[in-house]
Amino acid sequence: MKAITLVAMLLFATLAMSAQSNTHFVQHQDGLMGTADLFSSGESVFLQVSRGTDFFTGEPTTFIFFFSFADNPNGFTDTFGVGTIPNDSITGNDPAHVVLDVDLSQLNTVSGSSCTFNFVDFTETCQPLPLGVVHLEWRQTRSFSLHTVSDQQQTFSNFSLNIHQNSDTASAAVTGSFLGLEISDGGGQVGINHNSELELFVSPR
């Protein structure tokens, strides 16, 4: 399976988000979280989902962030999505088996875009975020487990990400589907965040 690092995903995501208006997300992360590295039909996907509370309202919230990348003969296409989803989209209070089930076509709280870059004539064409069902299941394999305490700050031309993370996670096998892509052998991590925080700020390019 082709793995994707978060740093590389964010670098490409700065381009995909350039047509959007200013966006600012802040989430206090407590509770279930999962990350997934997926590969199917030549497309790579990174996804993160986490429970917590909205910084501005104090209401319980579930945050989703995903990015996909696919080569084509003349360039590549990347797709980016970020926002909040219904809290019951994640089921399974035991991190050993967690299910994410959400239909993005029924929401107006997730924004993003899909952009195709052509290296032949150096053009970029962007479309609204493709909508559809995301259904993923994490089952811990526990081939490794991690206790993570870290602070990360990453800044690009129109994108910045600040993360304070305190979490306990373990490796997991991931199966299901992502916007029409069937996933049979994905990998990732699933576990619990403890008083962590994620801040994402995007401004137009």
pLDDT tens digits along 111-159: 888 889 999 998 988 888 888 999 999 999 989 999 999 998 866 444 5
DSSP state of 105: G
The pLDDT value recorded for residue 57 is 83
Record the pTM: 0.81
Instruction: Provide the pLDDT confidence category of residue 78 given band limits of 50, 70 and 90.
Output: confident
The pLDDT value recorded for residue 204 is 54
Continuous H helices in the chain: 6-16
Q: What percentage of the chain has pLDDT greater than the value 70?
A: 83
The pLDDT value recorded for residue 58 is 84
The pLDDT value recorded for residue 154 is 66
Provide the 3-class DSSP secondary structure of residue 92: coil
Instruction: Provide the pLDDT confidence category of residue 163 given band limits of 50, 70 and 90.
Output: confident
The pLDDT value recorded for residue 113 is 84
CA dihedral over 102, 107, 108, 113, signed as positive or negative: positive
The pLDDT value recorded for residue 24 is 77
The pLDDT value recorded for residue 7 is 37
The pLDDT value recorded for residue 12 is 40
Structure tokens at 62: 């579930």
CB 136 within 8 A of CB 149: no
36 vs 15, residue with greater confidence: 36
pLDDT for 87 beyond 90: yes
Q: Between the CA of residue 32 and those of 12, 95, 167, 181, what are the distances in Å?
A: 27, 7, 10, 24
